[in-house]
Structure 1
Amino acid sequence: MLKKAVKLWSEPVWIAKVGQVYQGTTDSMKRQAINWFDTAFYKWGLLIAIMGFLLGRAVILTELTPFVLPLLAAVYLLKRDKAAIAAFSLLGGAIFSYHGQVGFVITAIIAYILLQKAVARFVSDQTSALPYLVFSASLLSRLGLVFIGTGTISGYALMMAAVESGLSFILTMIFLQSVPLLTAKRIQRPLKNEEIICLIILLASVMTGTVGWAWNDMTVEHVMARYLLLIFGLVGGAAIGSTVGVVTGLILSLASLANLYQMSLLAFSGLLGGLLKEGKKVGVAVGLLVGTLLIGMYGEGGPGIAATLLETFAAILLFFLTPNRLIHKISRYIPGTVEYANEQQQYLKKIRDVTAGRVEQFSTLFQTLSKSFQMPPPTDDQERGEKEVDYFLSNVTEKTCQTCFKKEKCWVQNFSKTYETMNKIMTETEKNGEVKDQILQMEWNKHCIRPEKVVQAIVTEHSHYQVNQMLRKQVSESRKLVADQLLGVSQVMGDFAKEIQKEKEAHYQQEEELLEMLRGAGIEVGHIDIYSLRAGQAEIELSVPFDGGQGIGEKVIAPMLSSLLNETIVLQKEEAGFYSNGHSHMTFASARQFVVETGVANVAKGGAWISGDSYSTLELGSGQFALAISDGMGNGERAHLESTETLKLLQKVLESGIEEMVAIKSVNSVLSLRTTDEIFSTLDLAMIDLQTAKAKFLKIGSIPTFIKRRDKVLQIDASNLPMGMFQDFDVDVVSEQLKAGDVIIMVSDGIFDSPSHVENKDQWMKRMIGELEGADPQEMADMILERVIRSDSGYQIEDDMTVIVAEVKRNTPKWASIPLYRPSPPLKKRA
């Protein structure tokens, strides 16, 4: 048994379990200790009691105690339930002090309470009145004690009382900001610079209460001041470290003139420690030690240097014993620290996630609404047909057979024959509008005593049935359109939520390398931020001095980045003088693989000013280029307004990110429901992907589009009705893979139909386009328009004419890549 027990306990599983139990016990003890600490210091007010005791002992200029009333007033206003603890702890500190100001402390506390009760009845804003109450209570108490003790008030006593009251006035405003920072269990926001200074003044004031405490020639206030300096030097760097040194040294020197040299020691040591913060605790400790040696030798000289070094070593020991978690927690609230930046990043991420979550909720809502508008799946065709026949015949019999005396004989005794015969008559009248089958007519005449009336009722019911079917179809189409639109909005919002959640990738090493390379090439760069280095999706922002419009970003920096990243980088945006120091802000991004150059030529009917044709060429943010021509019905201002409105609606919907099919159907729905006038417009749309050169052609009531590819001319056709004619229609999409050098020619019907003497207009257009050589898009557009006008006899412009010519080209940078002066490997990219 003993061997088995030893074997079991030697198994790794048992060891792991024991470790888990031990770890669980340790964690439980830590949680209990933290809970006890929080309860004692925050709930029971132990922290306020310690602060009150030390501030009750604190004195400056050997006879002034300006710290008592500010602490009591701040606690009374912010944590009234702990005011009694603050008052008794202040009194206890005064009793166990060396300054002998117990009478003043008691008098000042009583005077403040009485003034507070009296003023509270008349003043609603107690926060603004609090410094004045403290000033009045301190001045009255000090002058009252002097008058009772000496019978008169000298000028010196009046001056010292005014100084003490003035310091209390200032310290009240400082403690109102700093006391909540110590008494709050958790601070919910980062600290401002003013709050940091106020907190340092409060801590230095509390340390003043330790004046007189010493052990083996080491004074407690010196040790605590240097310990505080080490903490803030590591957390905040040179600026915060030197500030802590100056403020702490000043307050300690006011408490004791022997500490006057401490201000220089602490300030210099804080500066050195902050500069060496990259060395962590060791670096800051070395800075304090060096500062102590230099200033200590100057201030204390040889005999006193030993005690000063001992105080420094004691502070360093406490510093190294301080948990890193506590220092990290303090760093989260100090601006400029890495922890503060991470905290801000976490806060921004939380806000971003909340926003993205709300957007995703709206996306899900629109998706649910889209599903609710979708029609239920159709039932079996035979079952649906039988139901429709039953409804149809029931309406007929209600108008004819319901009042007939032979109803029972026809529908009870001969139900099958009656139903089948009427069903045949219904089918016959649906095809021919009447009963042409003589055998069926004779059979029905023998069966029914009112044959003509029944047949007429069936014919009439057919017209109502067709109207109902049309309405049902329109409702179904409208529901489908609304469902598609809601689904499109849902997809856009879903994509937007994903964009919100995208974080800036960490590219610290690449940023340093890029910054070094650019500066090595002689370009002064303020800062650089790399958001993405993915192939085809690079995004870089940087700041450079304003170049006076010489184009250094486009001509020099972009080519250098292209050489470094092994892909074409272009200047996407430049903002001159964006920063306060006059630097410009530049944004660089991966260039598109293709670009589209366009040319447009148009003329109105008869040479008028207003054309019924409208056109648009624009690059969308999704990396696509859109070409569109809309031809309003007729000519003149009304047709112009109709075509312009069509393109405006389409442009707005496409820019929102909605897929082009849904966009066109949405625009058509708006146009068809907007007016009852028969005003329609055609739409010829081409969407070109600038990364792949793949094009989609959507033609609604428009004429063919032509693609010139070297010696060939391709024709793109699609048969769709004009927009606004029906609420729902199917859009035929024709896709075509374009190549570099392809030329797209889109024309309105005025161009296509103008040559009246030409019979085969398709071949005529192809031949004319094929003859165009060596011209840019604008010249080609002008030449096509001129040839069409000249081809008609009399040079008459019989209709509005518009032609768009777009050439697809490989995107080559305007400036060639500039290699660096020294060879360097390309930056590492993330997959």
Structure 2
Amino acid sequence: MSGQTRTHSMRQQTGVLAGSEFFLDVLLLGAVFFLVRAALLEELFPFGPAVIIAVGARRRLLWPAVVVAAVSAWLAGLPQVYSRLLIFLFLGLACTLYPSLNQRGPLTRATLAPVAITLVRGLGLTLWQPSFYGWVQVIFEALLAWGLSLGLLETATARRQEERLLGGGLFLLGLLLGLQGWQVSGLSIQGIISRYILLLAALAGGAGTGAAAGAAVGFLPSLSALITPSLAGLMAFTGLVAGSLKNLGKPGVISGFLLAHLVLANYFLGSDGVQAALRESGLAVLFLVATPPLLVYYFREFLAVPVAAQQAPADTSPRDNLKVALKSLAQNLKFHGFNESPLETVRQVARAACRGCPAGKVCWELEGEQMLNTLQELLHRGSQGPLTLAALPEWLASRCNRGRELLAALTTRAGKGQPQPLEDGLTNWLASIFDNLAVMVENRGIKKENSAGSGTGQPALKISVGMAATPRHRAEVTGDAFVAATLEPGRQLLILGDGMGAGREAADASGTALELLQDLLAAGFSPELALRTVNMVLLLRTTRENFTTIDLAMVNCHNGQTEFYKLGACPSFIQGKDGVKILRSHSLPVGILEDLQVEALKEELQEGDLLVMVSDGVLEAHRDLNEKEKWVSKALQRAGDARPQEIADRLLKQARALAGGNPPDDMTVVVARVEKAASA
């Protein structure tokens, strides 16, 4: 059933992608139609060859683009229309017969435009109307087409903001020039779109961006015809006033735009042009009101200054490089459902939210690495639910005036990721592994630097251990396993495991789990992560059920502080001066669920205390449910100062007797006594 659902979901996604791709192709061909008509100084038409080369990079759009360009040139009645049709045909044939051109760099592909123009128009000029001015015009148009082709091709792969702005500006310029002369009810479509672009730029970028956009669109009419660019001053001032009220949102930008337009329109345009200009401005205002906030957000991102990546110092050590690489692996695994890296997502959010912030210099130049790490962590949390101001760390919340906007942008971007639920457990576990490895590398470096002349001191306590075990009735080996090891001076590890079932299969499961757990803890893994790792390994080893109970105690021999982790294990017993204390936990064994709940129980052991760990066969030996734990407590109260091994043998002997000499399950008893260290 899940396979059918997943297949259906994939088909839906494929259909959506196909529909989006078709819509984009239609838009590109529509752009070709208008760009072919774009004229500079009424005589030069360099946009047509440039856009065919740029759009033709998608092979399926090459000949549709050639056909659309030819239809557009014919309908517009462009000068030398036949030579322009031959230019389009030449470009189509060149890209078709030499497909390797698409694998070349943008510079090589862009050179096709001036070559086609020079050959076709130059040949026609030589045969029918040879003139010096004609050759100057051909060469100038060829150079413009070469520059436009290069700019449009570079835009598709541009990473620098200047390249993106240049390419996007050239594309938009050609579209607006191609709309020259198009009208609806006496209103210029070019004028309406130009004013809308001005408003959008002012709202997204502020006064400077609004003024620049106003000057650009105001200068447009003088590019296509030999007229004085009087409109450029009006539009630049209008964009400046509108952008200065950006903080008031759309109402502020619209108010500033209309106010400046009313003041200067009569002076620049005269009484005849004021009414049409105001009607065009009114329609542009309506379009801005209907513009969704998401479009404004993306336009703001497009205009924003990129957040510089933090460069690693040239003298970084291999240990530091390894730490950075491990952290990067962990971050990318946390965002396995995202289409782009978390680092790039964070940079895009920061460009939009932090642009112009007075604290930006401190955040991104002095604390750039810390900011990137913090925002990536917030992005990960945002994929699990909306972020609130409480999610900001105190050091950032104390100086950030745009916390709400930053968190809202992170939540929005995080919501676009579609993690696969079946992979969450595995990827989160791997991310934790890499995070922990990075911390271990860093800690090892710190310890190595501080090791000279800074001893840690000798432990004040030591642990003496005794263990007794017996297999179930008629079994050759016990399925229980036990490990006692010193991880490092002053840390004593005790682990008791009970594999599912009995015999060699259970012994293999418990032995493997405990051996892996010991190796991970010795390597420096935290107990929580080590237990989660063992849990995941058991889940991945086999498709059938194969679990193991874990009873782990880690004793700090400097101060007696002990952490207990009990996953499906029986209660443990601590015999101290105040009597017997029983430690219980209700966690499941490892190897059952991906989402393993790990909770530490903390106790302080003192000199003379006894710690007893048993497998379930020992407690279940007593048939009375109410006496399963009491008989062990009573036996410990009679233990006195006997050695741990003697106590373990007594408890096991008593358990066998309670079971009638035929244990129904494997029995293991571990007894550890806390003693004063010889050197203390």
Instruction: Give the alignment's TM-score, normalised by structure 1.
Output: 0.39
Instruction: Give the alignment's TM-score, normalised by structure 2.
Output: 0.47
